[in-house]
Structure 1
Amino acid sequence: MPRLKEELSFKPLLSSFNTVVFHTVVFLHLTQPCAGQSQVVVGPSQPIVVTAGDDIILPCQIEPAVDASVMTVEWTRPDLNPRFVHVWRDGVELENKKHPSYNGRTSVFVNKLRCGDISLNLSKVRLSDSGKYRCFIPTLGRESTVELVVGE
């Protein structure tokens, strides 16, 4: 009979231990949702339409979200030379890489990069900005294309 009492006395301890282990596993899973998953770069499936002179956001997102602030993010237009519209590398924009027609008109949302949002902000849109834009993350080898249609 004493053995039964000893076993019963361990039940609350075992229950507490199981609860701690369960909460630890759930916490680790929630804080590292991307572990073992491969990322994709996602943009809109439909063209983005804007009026010349307006500002526009070309959406692009890494899913599942990862911190892109430490990655290289390239926005390009294959029909241009140089093809770069915006390059983010090592926490800064590389102005000297971009096509001159985009100088001072592009940016990424630095505070949103940590959440995988690599969207491009394009200001004072011109008719000549119409075309297909490529959003590319070299370290992931992933890309998406966004088509911009500019009207008068």
Structure 2
Amino acid sequence: MVTGPDSLFVTLLILLHTLPSESVKFEVLGPTEPIVAVAGDDVILPCYLKPNISVEDMTVDWRNLDPIDDIFYRYQNGRIILEDQIPSYRGRTSLFKEELWRGNTSLKLTRVQVTDDGLYECLIQSKDWYDDIKIQVLVKAVGSRPVVSIEGHREGGMGLVCQSEGWHPEPDLVWLDSKGVSLSAGPPETHRDLKGFYTVKQHVIVQETDTNLFTCRVLQKRINEEVETEVHIPSALLNYTTPWRLSFIVCCCLGVITVIGLALTAFCTCKKTENDSNI
């Protein structure tokens, strides 16, 4: 049995071994603002330790919390474990291996898809400690310049339709006159394809103005993007008399001519009768 100073020394070693060491505690840091990624590009999701200690003997989990809530990348004991990786992330994720020794666990996500939009978690675990950070990823895709087509004459004016495709998130579409005042238009039509891109369309009926200039604007305030197309409609088109209006005018004219003819006939008949009675 060890006694005296040696005994005290052994006891201290045991206590130091059993008590959690402050040196293994760390904090996981990352961005506080959303990361904006462009569909089709690559993006880096920052995540690192403070202090900058090595994670080579730790576990690093990257998890998608929205909407699937599952691990899509794991680094553990010096190995990358991807056996159960979410299929949509296969071949698109990696860490910076040369940076792991100083606590950099940032994730590189290549060929960003609109379905990557959501909330992510970077979780780092050692034997005695763990911490995490959550990162909001906003995937944006700016759609095509609006295409404006003339649909022809409608009740009340000329019918126009505007369409733009390839957007994310879902955008708004507005019709404006030459002064920037919103026009009353039909209900917006929105379609989302299998890849998550949005197409928007909206019809409007316009009437002649001093400029005959009209603008279709598509905007997404969340990503601060907008595109627009201006169109000029000639007065000759706006003032064109449609067949039904032409028929109506012709009928009115014929009606007026008929009434005048009947009136003249009646007048002549009365005049003739009056002359006959005088003889």
What band does the TM-score fall into relative to the shorter chain? 0.7 to 0.9
Could you tell me which residue of structure 2 aligns to residue 111 of structure 1? 98
Q: Tell me, yes or no, if the aligned pair for 2:66 and 2:120 is still in contact at 8 Å.
A: no
Change in CA separation of 1:75 and 1:131 when aligned onto 2, cut-off 3 Å:
same
The alignment status of 1:135 with 2:119, answered yes or no, reads no
Q: Highest CA radius of gyration, 1 or 2?
A: 2
Could you tell me which residue of structure 1 aligns to residue 58 of structure 2? 71
Indicate the percent of aligned positions where both proteins have the same amino acid: 35
| Cα deviation, residue 90, structure 1 | 1.6
- List structure 1 runs of 4+ shifted beyond 2 angstroms: 35-38, 78-82
Match 2:137 to one of 124, 148, 151: 148
Partners of 1:75 and 1:93 lie apart in 2 by 12
Partners of 1:79 and 1:46 lie apart in 2 by 17
| Cα deviation, residue 93, structure 1 | 1.1
Q: Which has the higher strand share?
A: 2
Q: Tell me, yes or no, if the aligned pair for 1:51 and 1:151 is still in contact at 8 Å.
A: yes
Q: Deviations over 1:44-80 (max 9, x none)?
A: 0000001100001000010001101221100001235
Q: Tell me, yes or no, if the aligned pair for 1:87 and 1:97 is still in contact at 8 Å.
A: no
Partners of 1:130 and 1:148 lie apart in 2 by 5
The alignment status of 1:102 with 2:89, answered yes or no, reads yes
| Cα deviation, residue 96, structure 1 | 0.8
Change in CA separation of 1:66 and 1:96 when aligned onto 2, cut-off 3 Å:
same
Letter in 2 for 1:131: G
Using structure 2 for the length normalisation, give the TM-score. Answer: 0.41
Q: Deviations over 1:80-106 (max 9, x none)?
A: 547112111121211113211101100
Q: How many residues align?
A: 119
Report the RMSD for the aligned CA atoms in angstroms.
1.8
Q: Which runs of 5+ in 2 are unaligned?
A: 1-21, 142-279
Partners of 2:135 and 2:46 lie apart in 1 by 8
